[in-house]
Amino acid sequence: MKVTDIMKKRMSFSFEVFPPKAEQSMEPLLDTLEHLYAYKPDFISCTYGAGGTNVGRNMEICKAIKESGKTIPVTHYTCIGNKKEKIREELETYLKMGVNHILALRGDFPKGWQETRGDFDHANELVEYIRTNFPEFCIAVAGNPEKHIQAGSLKEDIAHLRLKQDAGGDYIMTQLCYDVKNYQCWVEQIRKAGVTLPIDAGIMPVLSKDPTIRMTVSNGCSIPKELAEIIGKYGDSPEDFKKAGKEYTVKLIYDYINMGIDGLHIYTLNKWQDVADIIKNAGIRSIKE
């Protein structure tokens, strides 16, 4: 079963996790995964350190998800520092493990880099390479509802998204976006530009002040008034901030579902307890406790 087959029938529901650093134990994340499986996600995606840092850990996590038999693993993969030969080897390894879902990305440049230093400059080239050489993969591509921060204009960015569709992308996974009106407007614009792929909406839970500000600002995303008020009001009180942030996230999820999305993808930040509270309050998945 492919993620896109699920999306044809109903809204998919999924999580994202990130691997521990090489020197850290795998146990906490393996435990987190066990808790996340209880919510019967359609897939769990695992991030990939741009430049291939920590790729071993990404593979271990994807393998553990596959071997659990509980859900579909989706690996993220980037162009940064990756030459075709290495890409071929790694993609063959994923397929041997039974991982046939991939999010094909350019990746964020490590500090001081201004190019990928690999064989592909942009995600559309990686998508084309995968589609041509490894047709078994179901390929997701990134979408930026408020424009990728390096793009000259939204129009240009949407034209680049179209290139990823034309190269063989199967569905879009979106960057965090707290402004649902901007999201809706972007969906209208990409459809007008001929982008027809299903869209999996990425939800970044609001759990603490500094990461929320850092992630929105570094991606050039808006902070709507309601979120700004939470930051202003509870910024010095982490407990109150988290409580208000979770309520805000639940409302955001409702807004996205009401808009009519093809998939709901929660960036868990590896914090299963907070995510469990949000899911419970949003009433999207129930489990026996």
Rule CB under 6 A: which residues touch ligand FAD?
A: 47-48, 50, 76, 78, 103, 105-108, 122-124, 142, 148, 150-151, 156-157, 160, 163, 173, 175, 202
CA distance 189 to 40: 33
CB of 220 to ligand FAD, least distance (A): 10
Give the burial string for 226-262 (b: 16+ CB within 10 Å, else e). ebeebbeebeeeeeebbebbbebbbebbeebeeeebb
| Catalytic residue flag (residue 16) | yes
CB of 1 to ligand FAD, least distance (A): 21
Strands (E), the chain: 12-17, 43-46, 72-78, 101-105, 138-143, 171-174, 199-203, 263-267
CB of 196 to ligand FAD, least distance (A): 17
Q: Which is nearer to ligand FAD, 83 or 233 (CB)?
A: 83
Q: How far, in whole angstroms, is CA 141 from its chain's centroid?
A: 9
CB of 44 to ligand FAD, least distance (A): 13
Q: Say if CB 128 and CB 166 are below 8 A apart.
A: no
Q: Which is nearer to ligand FAD, 29 or 50 (CB)?
A: 50
Ordered DSSP codes for 158-210: HHHHHHHHHTT--EEEEPP-S-HHHHHHHHHHHHHTT----EEEEE-----HH
Q: Which is nearer to ligand FAD, 3 or 123 (CB)?
A: 123
Q: Which is nearer to ligand FAD, 141 or 278 (CB)?
A: 141
Which two three-digit tokens encode residue 109?
């440049």
Q: Which of 16, 125, 128, 146 is catalytic?
A: 16
Positions marked active-site: 16
